[in-house]
Chain A
């Protein structure tokens, strides 16, 4: 999973997205907040969901408990 490095830490793009998701947002909201293209957010968000760090409900994405812990550990 490219967004999670072999040592378990997150790639810079994934770090930026989980930080942005401290407030739940839509994919479009994340794009606007971080000024990133749609494809980049969609693909990273998919991997973050598969890693159990982010969850989606009615098109809105937010951090899971595991995701929140990961954000707190980030420098």
Chain B
């Protein structure tokens, strides 16, 4: 298959920095559209199937971080290729056995419409289940981050919270965040783009400047 044919037939998956694909879906909280979340950050995440152990641990952990996410203006929206009845039964089962209430809606994507739109199905892993995908969508409904985990591996909630904190810090302060950054750590000042700005950067007071391209600073408390 040549490159032209490939690009003509390949599905258009979400891209970072581009608008999230709009959808309308049946969920455990009624019919929801992507646009209903406008003005909030949204974590759209998929799981392979209801009543499976790794997914159960993830749902419990997503429920546990839901208050912290809400505090940051973030909503959660789950998805799997199961029916609404299955979702309701599973959510009730989790509440019964683990004493954890699932506070977020879950899309019942039986026709795989949203899963296909977002490229959540990885045929190399499974043709009938969604992999463990996370799409972080900002209040303007732009895709800001994507994480993909395989069927076997549960996601890390600390990393999801850290990623949200990093994206919100970037938006608020116009900075970047270094590896393993945590709130309270120094942030990266974007590198200068001109020779004059590079010279100025090395003389700038109040920052930690290792070299013209590598400078950090504290954020106001």
Q: Give chain A's interface residues, CB within 8 Å of chain B.
A: 2-3, 11, 13, 37-40, 42-44, 46-47
Is the beta-carbon distance between B75 and A43 smaller than 8 angstroms?
Answer: no
Is the beta-carbon distance between A43 and B30 smaller than 8 angstroms?
Answer: yes
Is the beta-carbon distance between B36 and A38 smaller than 8 angstroms?
Answer: yes
Chain B residues contacting A44 (CB-CB under 8 Å) are: 30
Q: Number of B residues contacting the other chain (C-beta, 8 Å)?
A: 14
- Bound-state CA distance A40–B29 (Å) is 7
Is the beta-carbon distance between B31 and A37 smaller than 8 angstroms?
Answer: no
Is the beta-carbon distance between B40 and A3 smaller than 8 angstroms?
Answer: no
Interface centre among A13, A38, A43, A44 (most CB of B within 10 A): A43
Is the beta-carbon distance between B29 and A47 smaller than 8 angstroms?
Answer: no
Give 14 CB contacts A-B under 8 Å: A2-B26, A2-B31, A11-B30, A37-B40, A38-B36, A39-B29, A39-B37, A39-B40, A39-B75, A39-B105, A40-B29, A42-B36, A43-B31, A47-B31
Q: Please report which residues of chain B, range 10-47, place their CB below 8 angstroms from some CB of chain A when the two chains form the complex.
A: 26, 29-33, 35-37, 39-40
Q: Is the interface of B mostly helix, strand, loop or mixed?
A: mixed
Is the beta-carbon distance between B29 and A38 smaller than 8 angstroms?
Answer: no
Q: Is the interface of A mostly helix, strand, loop or mixed?
A: helix
- Bound-state CA distance A37–B67 (Å) is 12
Closest A-B pairs by Cβ, 6 of them: A39-B36, A2-B30, A42-B36, A43-B36, A39-B37, A43-B32
- Bound-state CA distance A2–B37 (Å) is 18
Nearest CB in chain B: distance from A68 CB, A: 23
Interface centre among B30, B31, B39 (most CB of A within 10 A): B30
